[in-house]
Each structure stands twice: as C-alpha cells, then as structure tokens.
Structure 1
Amino acid sequence: MSNTSPALRQRNWFGHPPGLTVLFLTEMWEMFSFFGMRALLVYYMTKRLDLHQEAASLIYGAYAALVYFTPVFGGVVADRWLGKRKAVIIGGATMALGHFMMASEALFYPALATIALGNGLFLPSLASQIEGLYREGDPRSKSAYNVYYVGVNLGAFLAPFVCGSLGEAYGWHWGFAAAGIGMLLSLVIYVAGSRYLPAETIRISGPAIPARAPLDRSAMQRLLFLIGIAAIVVVFRGAYEQVGNTIALWADEGVNRHVTATWSIPMTWFQALDPLLVFIATPLLLARWSRLAKRGIETPWLHKMAFGATTVGVSYLLLALVAAWSEAHGTHAHWAWLAGWFVLMTLGELYILPVGLGLFGHMAPDGFRATCIAIWFFAGFFGNLLAGVLGTLWSGLSHGWFFAMIGAVAGLAATLLYVVGLRAGYSEKLPGAGLTTLPSG
C-alpha cells in the first residue's frame, strides 16, 4: 500500500503528481551545477593547474568515482536515520559549499571532496522519493523515471553553455561560481515544494531503529541480482564515462571546431550535446515504446540494456575509424563527426541508464529503495575508477587505437548483459520485472 497522502493523489501537474515536477526541477539544477563544474574540470586541471594529462585523467576519474561511492553510505543513512528530506537538504547545502570552494585554487582538492560528500546524501535520497508519489499499480509510474531523467539532462544541457562559456571567456572561477548558484537554486526549489512530496515515517530519537521489514529469501535474491547487474554496469561505465575525460580532450586537440573563418565552437559546448539529445529523443522513444507495448511487444530489461551497451560500443568503433583516418592524413576531424558520435552514443545511453535506474527502483525490496538506488549509483564508483585508469592510456596510444579499445570495453559489457539475461530468465521469474519503464527493444 502506498503512503502517498490524499492531497498528493488528487492533484496532477502535466499528467503526473506535482511532486514529480518538484523532484524534476530540483534534480535539473543539481545536474546544472554538477555538469557545469564537470565541463570545466579537465581543462582547468591541464590549462590552469598545469597538471599532466595522465594525472588529470586519474583525478577526474577518482572524483567522479567518489561522486558515485558516497551515495552508498548516504542511502543507508537516509533510510535508517536522517530520512530522505533531511538528507537532501543537508547534502544540497554541502554541495553548494563545495562548488563555491572551487573558486580558490588552494581549496581544489577539499572542494572536490566536499561536493562528493554532499552528493552522497543528496542523490539517492532524491530519486528514491519517486515511487512514493504514485498509488500502487498507477500506470504513470512506469514513465516517471524517464521523465525524471529528462530533468537530469535538461540541467546537464544548460550547464556547458552557462558555466562552460563563463569559464572559457572570463575565467574558470566564474564558471565554478555559476555551478554553485545552480546548486542553491536546486535547494530552494526542493524546500519550497516539499509539501508535494511523500510523507516519511517518523523516526524515534535515540538509537537507530530500522523502520522496515527484514529481508526474506525473495527480497535477498532480488538484492543479489541487482548487485550483479551493477557489477556489469561498472564495465559499461568504463567506456561511457570517457565523455567528460578523453572525449573532452579530443574535442580540444583532435577536432576542427571552425564553423566560419572567425568563429569556432567552444570546446565545452560539445558536452551539451548528450543531454540535448536525451531531452529531444526521450519523448519520441517513449511514444514508440508505448505503441509497441499496446501490441504486446515486450523486451526483457537486460536485453534493452545490452542493446544500449552494444550501440555505445559501435559508436566508439566508428569514432576510432574517424580518428585513425585523420591521424593518417595529418589533419583534424571535422566537428560534425564528433556531433554524430554523440547522436549514436546517446541512443545507446537511453537504452541502458534510465532502464537501469527504473529496474533498481522497481525491484528494490520494501524499506531498501534508497539503498538499492545507491547501489545503482555505486556502479559509477568503480566505473569511473576504471574510466580514469583507461584515460591514462590516452597519451600513449594513437587516438584511433584508444577509441577502439574503449569500444571493446562497451562490447564486453553488452555481452555480459545478454548472457546474464538469457541464463537468468529474470523477466518471468523475478518480482517486479513486469514494471519495465521501456517496453521495447
């Protein structure tokens, strides 16, 4: 039975409970701050702090990994002690502080750690409130995570144009400050709209008492299954997370960004393509999947995710050919090739990342939803560590061979997802499998 209040059930904004709009806008501005800082990070380290590329890639990977590591503990803290609402507020305030600390070069490393720590409380606690907005069996819940994912990418789209442009044109610290302002807006929106969010179980002061049922055998099987999927997603993220690392470096040094004789596309702007394409493609894909679902066409969760990983792998292999040809002819690749790569890569992303988030949200055992969402994000911890280690090979390999290697990494993840999906037969056996958010392949 849902704990959604009658007030939440009676109102609708844009076809969904108003709380989804609040969570959408809160996450949009949080992503604005995160991706605004990320668009500048590698360039800031190599151009301002004069770090070598290998060191910059490792630091980038370690920071991005920490961002995905802290939600594991933050989700547990939110579920058992603080509650989701307090966790979001404390986490958001901490992240805003970290973004403003980036204005000082002396506080560079403490600032990264502060942002990551705040994110640990914020990220799982926000996303895990989606399920509580809907009555049990409400068909709108099937698309709620995809709508939420659009908010994620809308903020990520705006960030490079604002933070990236300010950083490139007026100084890196101006871009970081803009990211901090975005985080403050996120916090204000969440607090102002908190009355539209699900009520939480009141926690008794004193020693923590878990307000949830113990894990039975079925719940434990689901939890172990999700942990296994997260392990495979680690491999995929080793390839996917190159977007803000070596892809950003290639946009600077391997791409002809000239559009006219007097104007070139700023290098940070390419980071806006992925979220823009997600924003445009998501409603189109949802409409197509809805039509197929009405015809009874269903594709298992992991097969969808495997298709996405395969598509990302193919995109890197095609980019490898472009980079190899450009190097062989002593020229720079036209910027349109990079834009085309983003189109193909984003298509693959839409089949794996929102699908995985929805899978973890729907299959989470009762009382462990924030923890399971945190496990999903925890895959990003090891994935970003892997991406950072792979990024250190950028300077030692030709660009063509490097991208071919990354394509093989994505291909490995796709193979594992297909194999596990075939062997497990999970779409028929596991509870919650019929609640897929993306009903087609």
Structure 2
Amino acid sequence: MSAAMPVSRDRQFLGHPVGLTVLFLTEMWEMFSFFGMRALLVYYMTKHLDIAQEYASLIYGVYGALVYFTPVFGGYIADRWLGKRRAVLIGGGIMALGHFMMASEWLFYPALITIALGNGLFLPCLASQIEGLYRKGDARSKSAYNIYYVGVNLGAFLAPLVCGFLGEAYGWRWGFAAAGIGMLVSLVIYVAGLPHLPPEPARSAPARSLRPTLDGPARQQLIFLMGIAAIVVVFRGAYEQVGNTIALWADEGVNRQVTSGWSIPMAWFQALDPLVVFAATPLLVTRWARLATRGVDTPSLYKMAFGAGVVGLSYVLLAAIATWTETHGAHAHWAWLVGWFVLMTLGELYILPVGLGLFGRLAPEGLRATCIALWFFAGFFGNLLAGALGTLWSKLPHGGFFLAIGCVAGCSAALLFLVGLSVGRAEKRDNPTPTPTPTPTPTTALSP
C-alpha cells in the first residue's frame, strides 16, 4: 500500500482498520435481508403458494444458484467499468427493491430474479475491499476474513428471529418487508463509512490499459482457484440443505414442543448456524494465531478438508437419528437438531471463511472482485446440486437421504485433501499454485 494512504484508513478499531467495521456492518445487514427472506422461502412456497415439495426444493435451489451465478458478471463489470463502490450502491438498491416486491404473490418470480441481479453487483464488490485495507504482508489480513464472516453470520442469526417470526406470526409480507428494510440500513451504513474504505483506482486511462495482464503465474493462479471452486461445488450440495430439506425436517420430523403452550418456531432453528459461527470464530481465530506464533500454520486446503469432513460426519449422525425415529414412529427431540447445527457449523468454519480468504489473497492484481466472484460462483452449481438432491427428500427415507448427503460432503473432503497433497509447501511460500516438478512423483506431502 502506498504511503499516500488516507489517514482515515490508518485508524484502528479493535486492532483492525475502521474500514473492516464498516464492511462488517454493511454485510451484516445485507445478510439480515438475504437470510430473512430465505428463512421464509420454502415455507412460503409450500404453505402459502401451495407448491409441491419437490418443486419448491428445486425452485429454492435454482434461486440460490442464481444468487451465486450473477456475482461472476457483477465482479467483472465492477473491475472493468463501475468500480466497487458504485457497484455496491447500485446492487444494494436493486436488492432492496426485490425484497419489497416479495410482499406480492404476483411478483414472486420477478422478485427472486431482481434480488439475484442486485446481489451480483453487491456481493463480490464488498468482500473484495477487505484486502485493500491492509498493507502487503500484514498478517492481520488472514483473520480479517474470519471477522468479516462473523458479520455475515450475525445478520443471518438475527434474520430468522425477526423476519421468520414476523412471517409466521403476522403474515409473510411483513417478514419480507423487514428484509427489505434491512437492505436499506446496509446501504446507509456503507455510504456513511466510505471515507474509511480503500479508494477506487484511477479510471481516467483508456479501458484497454486498465485491463490486468494475465501472465503465466497469474494464469496458473486462476486455474488453481477454479479447481478449488469446483470441489466447493460438491461441498455446497450438502451444505445448502440447511435452508431446504433441513428446514422441512424441522417442520415434519422434529418435536419442537418446549412447554405445554409453546413450540419453537421452525424458522428459528436456522439462526443456530450463525449463532455458533460468531460464538466459535473468536476462539478459532485466537487458536490459529497462537499456533502461528509457534510456527504451526496449517495450510488452508487442509483446514478446508477437515471442515468438509466434519460436515459429512454431522449428516451421518443425523441419518442415524432420523432412522431411529422413523423406525419407532416418533419425532426427534429438538435438542438433536440443535446439536447437529453446532457440529455442522464447526465444520463450516474450517471451510467457508478459510476458502474466501484463500481466494482474496491469491487473486491476481486487478482481478480481485472477479476472483471473489469465482468463489461465490461455486455456490451457483452447488445450489443447483443441492436443489436436485432436495427432490429426493420425498422419495427416500429421511435417514437414507441424510446418509447420502453425508457421503457428498465426505467426497469433497477427500478431494480437498488430495489437492492439498499435490500443492505441497507452495502456499507457505506465498505461491499456492502447483508447479511442475522434474521428478516423476506428482505430489509432495504437506507438513502437519
């Protein structure tokens, strides 16, 4: 970072630039709007619009896929023409409009498309500003992505509690309207915090000169990141069941009764994932920082493989619970679902924020928003896969379905581990792209 960095960006808050707090709060309220709508979506389709379960799951998957597909184009447009700041403002405004449109049954499908389009500009351009807050080589940049991820999940935690409650208790349109208000709050925070964010690069030169050059190493980095994104697609096929078939099981297969007169609202269970995220993230970040000071820095791919394996294990355990309850004609106690969310989310923390940080650090210069969009693009195919898998919910025993999902997550864990072996020590040398070796052996073991 140049010495001409504005003074406002040198200000610190809790050991990090103030700009990280701005991005944290902006993303928190954007996630409040996104997950607030998502918490109601499957229930809204099956209970209000009378859409059959298999079609509702498929629509849910296609919508989720669009949310992760549009950032590829949004990131490219921002890198080439709009700039990150303008893209965030335009995208956020479009998303707010889409959330308010959800209040009308007649605008259901146009509203989903509108939200997905706005998200395409908003999502990659917010996260891609994190790296610009730190000088090159600043060790804090790695933990910054985990802190940012807490903001994502704080909004996701509040969303089902507020929007889910309003939708179930007072009507679906009230829940969707609350999501739209959350998006407007996000935009206000972003505009107020602009002085603390990285400045946009000069765009007075001809467009051709602004295009980054893809030399050999940069091209290899892109290929490497594309391979990781492809594996994350498989993982998301399992992970994205949280708002889909897991939500259905919470309604159909779980005893939510707490007292004789009160049951836990079904949408509230979706707040457990983000609750565990922001409770456990400080502990994990502190542990990783202490290990790093002792020279123990586990490569990101190994962390991601471990996380995917834990998620797979959580589904296998859920399969055992669902099989037992089906065999005995009973409903699972709500505490089992709480325990599953805790275990699954602990695995999530080892793969999703770690992967986001990996893509942010390894993006070629001038293509950071595009590479962040590539990370989210894995969610496009992942949600399509999750939606397709969700159509099996009504055709398989619930225990068998969860076992199959556990195997999907396990496959992604094995693939990430194998890629980690092939990368060797390259990531520790700040060059994570596998390079050809003169020996016939194609892999080099990573140190523990």
Q: How many residues align?
A: 435
Asked if the contact 1:4/1:198 (under 8 Å) is kept, the reply is: no
Partner of 1:68: 68
Residues 256-285 of structure 1: per-residue CA shift (max 9 Å, x gap) = 000111110000000000000000000011
Partner of 2:53: 53
Partner of 1:309: 308
In the alignment, the residues of structure 2 paired with residue 356 and residue 174 of structure 1 have an alpha-carbon distance, to the nearest angstrom, of: 35
Asked if the contact 1:2/1:132 (under 8 Å) is kept, the reply is: no
Structure 1 residue identity aligned to 2:19: G
Asked if the contact 1:360/1:376 (under 8 Å) is kept, the reply is: yes
Moved more, 119-128 or 414-423: 414-423
Partner of 2:196: 196
Partner of 2:442: none
Partner of 1:342: 341
In the alignment, the residues of structure 2 paired with residue 431 and residue 169 of structure 1 have an alpha-carbon distance, to the nearest angstrom, of: 52
In the alignment, the residues of structure 2 paired with residue 47 and residue 426 of structure 1 have an alpha-carbon distance, to the nearest angstrom, of: 52
Moved more, 7-16 or 42-51: 7-16
Partner of 1:27: 27
Residues 31-54 of structure 1: per-residue CA shift (max 9 Å, x gap) = 000000000000000000000000
Partner of 1:42: 42
Partner of 2:292: 293
Asked if the contact 1:8/1:133 (under 8 Å) is kept, the reply is: no
Q: Which runs of 5+ in 1 are unaligned?
A: 435-439
Structure 1 residue identity aligned to 2:142: K
Equivalent residue runs for 1:349-360 within 5 Å: 349-360=348-359
- The verdict on how the C-alpha distance between 1:3 and 1:363 changes in structure 2, with shifts beyond 3 A counting, is farther
Q: How far off its partner does 1:134 sit?
A: 1.0
Q: How far off its partner does 1:378 sit?
A: 0.1
Moved more, 239-248 or 131-140: 131-140
Equivalent residue runs for 1:100-119 within 5 Å: 100-119=100-119
Q: Name the SS for the 2:208 alignment partner.
A: coil
In the alignment, the residues of structure 1 paired with residue 33 and residue 4 of structure 2 have an alpha-carbon distance, to the nearest angstrom, of: 30
Q: How far off its partner does 1:142 sit?
A: 2.0
In the alignment, the residues of structure 2 paired with residue 232 and residue 212 of structure 1 have an alpha-carbon distance, to the nearest angstrom, of: 29
Q: How far off its partner does 1:301 sit?
A: 1.4
Q: How far off its partner does 1:431 sit?
A: 3.5
Structure 1 residue identity aligned to 2:400: W
Partner of 1:409: 408
Q: How far off its partner does 1:324 sit?
A: 0.2
Partner of 2:444: none
Q: How far off its partner does 1:213 sit?
A: 3.3
Q: Name the SS for the 1:259 alignment partner.
A: strand
Length-normalised TM-score, structure 1: 0.96
- The verdict on how the C-alpha distance between 1:352 and 1:428 changes in structure 2, with shifts beyond 3 A counting, is closer
Q: Name the SS for the 2:16 alignment partner.
A: coil
In the alignment, the residues of structure 2 paired with residue 300 and residue 170 of structure 1 have an alpha-carbon distance, to the nearest angstrom, of: 48
Q: How far off its partner does 1:390 sit?
A: 0.1
Moved more, 287-296 or 334-343: 287-296
Q: How far off its partner does 1:210 sit?
A: 5.1
Asked if the contact 1:80/1:209 (under 8 Å) is kept, the reply is: no
Equivalent residue runs for 1:223-262 within 5 Å: 223-262=222-261
Asked if the contact 1:145/1:358 (under 8 Å) is kept, the reply is: yes
Q: Name the SS for the 1:274 alignment partner.
A: helix
Length-normalised TM-score, structure 2: 0.95
Structure 1 residue identity aligned to 2:23: L
Partner of 1:274: 273
Structure 1 residue identity aligned to 2:268: W
- The verdict on how the C-alpha distance between 1:91 and 1:401 changes in structure 2, with shifts beyond 3 A counting, is same
In the alignment, the residues of structure 2 paired with residue 11 and residue 430 of structure 1 have an alpha-carbon distance, to the nearest angstrom, of: 30
In the alignment, the residues of structure 1 paired with residue 142 and residue 299 of structure 2 have an alpha-carbon distance, to the nearest angstrom, of: 15
In the alignment, the residues of structure 1 paired with residue 3 and residue 234 of structure 2 have an alpha-carbon distance, to the nearest angstrom, of: 37
What is the aligned-residue RMSD (CA, Å)? 1.6
- The verdict on how the C-alpha distance between 1:210 and 1:71 changes in structure 2, with shifts beyond 3 A counting, is farther
In the alignment, the residues of structure 1 paired with residue 100 and residue 395 of structure 2 have an alpha-carbon distance, to the nearest angstrom, of: 35
Partner of 1:437: none
Q: How far off its partner does 1:402 sit?
A: 0.2
Q: How far off its partner does 1:429 sit?
A: 7.5
Q: How far off its partner does 1:295 sit?
A: 1.6
Partner of 2:332: 333
